[in-house]
Chain A
Amino acid sequence: MQTWNYLEYAAWGVSALLGLYMVIDWLKVDSTYSEEVLTSSREGELEAMTEQHKL
């Protein structure tokens, strides 16, 4: 059945597009923002602001 052969090609094509989207966006983000900003997340920062951990 030819439909499924077309679907195979479509699956390859959509996969390539999704992969391309992620790679292009990744490169764009990396070149737009400084490394300092991108890696500025710190564990527990919000926790320290909102939770007192005192009974």
Chain B
Amino acid sequence: MASSDITSKGSDDATPHGAKVGLLRVLGPAHIWALGVGIVLVGEYMGWNFSVGKGGAFAALIACWFAGILYTCVAMIDSEVTSTVAAAGGQYTQAKHIVGPLMAFNVGLYLVFAYTMLEAANAITAGYLISVVAGMMGHVGDLDQRPFIVLVIMFLAWLNYRGVLATLTFNLVITSIAFVAILVLFLSTSGVLGGGIMQHAALFEGHELPYGWIGVLAAMHFGLWYYLGIEGTTQAAEEVRSPARALPFGTLAGIMTLLIAATLTWYICSGILPWEFLGDGVDGAVAPLFSAAQLSGSMALVWFLGFGTLFATLASANGCINDASRAWFAMGRDKYLPFWFGAVHPKFRTPYRSIIFLVPIAMIFALGAPLDQVITFSILSGLLEYTFMPLNIIQFRRKWPLNSIKRGYEHPFHPLPAIVLLCLCGITFFAVFLGYGTQLVAMIGFYIVVSLWFHFWRYRFVNRGTQFTMPWPKPHGY
């Protein structure tokens, strides 16, 4: 870890880094890629296949590509705004500068809930995977998964506590291995290297769209799973060496990687596994890429994809801890939450109190809540966040037109991506409502209640004079 003073203006001896302690700017584009793809790639290894159950294999492919368009819009919009509003908190900070405090508070909570729930879901999955490994190695009886779930959360929290460079370098290594595993499985089973085992025509015959077009719509819910979390790259904005370069580069490279990984994943799994088995993520293909590797007949591929699944799960949980803690920290620093959370570790330069505070919350959900509920809570928070983005970018362009401030990246065809994103979010809300209507209504009710609490109570503590930090000109029309 670099020990040079980055944030201090003076040479005060109060800390090893001077009078002021801030987050450390040590990350490059590869770390941004690893953060975004790392959070998401687990969705290729498991979860996306529920979309096959909703509407068949073709519906899953349509959902994969439409969700791909949704997330490409997310990545482009995020790249433009974050490369300009380069501060921890990501979309929360964007909302604070561009829309207003109430929106910022809500977006901050969406972020923390989405990532903490996803972290809990990943820890549950890691515990399950370790129990599968125990079974494969001859363990008789049920393995107690709890110690491994707790270990995953504690180890990754410790890594995050110790510094962002090691945390995201770790993510870079394990995410790359997990991505290469998908490529190797594709090359080995498609006939590019050796004999292929794909049977798309035979498996699809008579099952093209088993539930018709409503099945395609329902599949959109789990289509998000291919890409959910790529927007997390923005949380590293205050820790990259060059925000204007690294954030757009890492985020756009990340969405391209995921579009390739998602399409290959669909191609491999739908060509090897029958749709009825593939679409059942509980009693059928829990980890479809791993199941495909098992059918390949190669023990090396089975182990490679087994490690790929575990690494993808760990990378996702690791990135989630990083992102949730930055959002919580940024809200604390602005006094949207107690100021105490805005502390930075003077040696490791991480938001250590926020990291520690979120550990027991993740633990409670990982040990006490059912996996599907935890995942749904995460998806819904993410979806609310994506709905905010088009409104955000339209306001951003209106208040600060292209020639008024310096941007690291300017996304093309504005406002088309914003309109497409808004329409796709509307469709996905309907798809989620079809399967999880009660949870959707309960969640929106929850956010209304906390918004009232913020408006009538918490806002009086907010640092109103210091929350607008960007040296921008006055907004257009003000």
Whether, in the assembled complex, B327 has its beta carbon less than 8 Å from a beta carbon of chain A, the answer is no
Chain A residues with CB under 8 Å of B339's CB are 39
Chain A residues with CB under 8 Å of B154's CB are 14-15, 18-19
Report Cα–Cα, A34/B403, bound state, in Å.
43
Q: Which of A1, A37, A53 contacts B406 (CB 8 A)?
A: A53
Question: Nearest chain-A residue to B21 (Cβ)?
Answer: A40
Question: Nearest chain-A residue to B466 (Cβ)?
Answer: A42
Total A-B pairs, Cβ < 8 A: 138
Report Cα–Cα, A35/B15, bound state, in Å.
12
Q: Is the CB of A12 within 8 A of B147?
A: yes
Q: Which of B20, B150, B356 contacts A12 (CB 8 A)?
A: B150
* Dominant secondary structure at the A interface: helix
Q: 8 Å CB contacts to B: which residues of A9-41? A: 9, 11-12, 14-15, 18-19, 21-23, 25-26, 29, 33-35, 37-41
Question: Nearest chain-B residue to A34 (Cβ)?
Answer: B14
Q: Which of A18, A40, A41, A53 contacts B470 (CB 8 A)?
A: A53
Chain B residues with CB under 8 Å of A40's CB are 19-22, 344
Asked if A1 meets B144 with Cβ closer than 8 Å, knowing A41-B21, A43-B330, A43-B333, the reply is no
Q: Which of B21, B151, B334 contacts A37 (CB 8 A)?
A: B21
Whether, in the assembled complex, B109 has its beta carbon less than 8 Å from a beta carbon of chain A, the answer is no
Report Cα–Cα, A55/B407, bound state, in Å.
10
Q: Which of B87, B139, B343, B406 contacts A39 (CB 8 A)?
A: B343
The size of the chain A interface, using a CB distance under 8 A, is 38
Q: Which of B148, B157, B333 contacts A42 (CB 8 A)?
A: B333
In this complex, the member of A40, A45, A54 whose beta carbon has the largest number of chain B beta carbons within 10 angstroms is A40
Report Cα–Cα, A42/B59, bound state, in Å.
48
Chain A residues with CB under 8 Å of B432's CB are none
Q: Is the CB of B134 within 8 A of A46?
A: no
Q: Which of B15, B157, B330, B356 contacts A33 (CB 8 A)?
A: B15
In this complex, the member of A34, A43, A49 whose beta carbon has the largest number of chain B beta carbons within 10 angstroms is A43
Q: Is the CB of A42 within 8 A of B150?
A: no
Question: Nearest chain-B residue to A11 (Cβ)?
Answer: B147
Q: Is the CB of A47 within 8 A of B470?
A: yes
Q: Is the CB of B334 within 8 A of A43?
A: yes
Chain A residues with CB under 8 Å of B342's CB are 39, 41
Q: Is the CB of A1 within 8 A of B158?
A: no
Question: Nearest chain-B residue to A49 (Cβ)?
Answer: B9
- What are 15 A-B interface contacts by the 8 Å CB criterion? A8-B147, A15-B151, A18-B155, A22-B356, A37-B14, A40-B20, A40-B21, A41-B22, A42-B469, A43-B93, A43-B467, A46-B22, A46-B238, A53-B471, A55-B405
The 7 A-B pairs at the shortest CB distance, nearest first, are namely: A44-B469, A11-B147, A38-B343, A15-B154, A11-B151, A41-B22, A18-B158
Given contact pairs A1-B139, A18-B155, A34-B14, a sample of 6 additional A-B residue pairs in the complex whose CB atoms are under 8 Å apart: A12-B147, A26-B356, A41-B342, A42-B469, A48-B471, A53-B406
